[in-house]
Amino acid sequence: MSTARKGGPGGATRRGRSSGRVSGGTPAPSARYTPPTPKAAKVSPKWMGPLILALLIGGALVIILNYFDVMPASPTSWYIVAGIALIAIGFVVATRYR
């Protein structure tokens, strides 16, 4: 039995030529969709982060102050509605943040 091999590692022949993959040329098209790279990344304005925090904290503060009867007039459900609306607007603005 002979220990000599016809090809080297990776299928290379003795002359250094490979019958496998060739580097260069055009790559084979992929079956996956690759979206194009954006030309300019979108950046949010600097005031958007503090606005999100102000809306979320303001909405929670309105609800808490209504609970402790600190708001003008007697505690009403309209303050709760306003607090929930502020929190909801804060979440909507947060989804637009980049």
The mean pLDDT of 31-36, rounded to a whole number, is 85
The percentage of the chain sitting over the pLDDT mark of 90, rounded to a whole number, equals: 49
Average per-residue pLDDT for the chain: 83
Q: Per-residue b/e over 17-40, b at no fewer than 16 CB within 10 Å?
A: eeeeeeeeeeeeeeeeeeeeeeee
Whether the per-residue pLDDT at 27 is higher than 80: the answer is: no
> No. of H helices and E strands in the chain?
2, 0
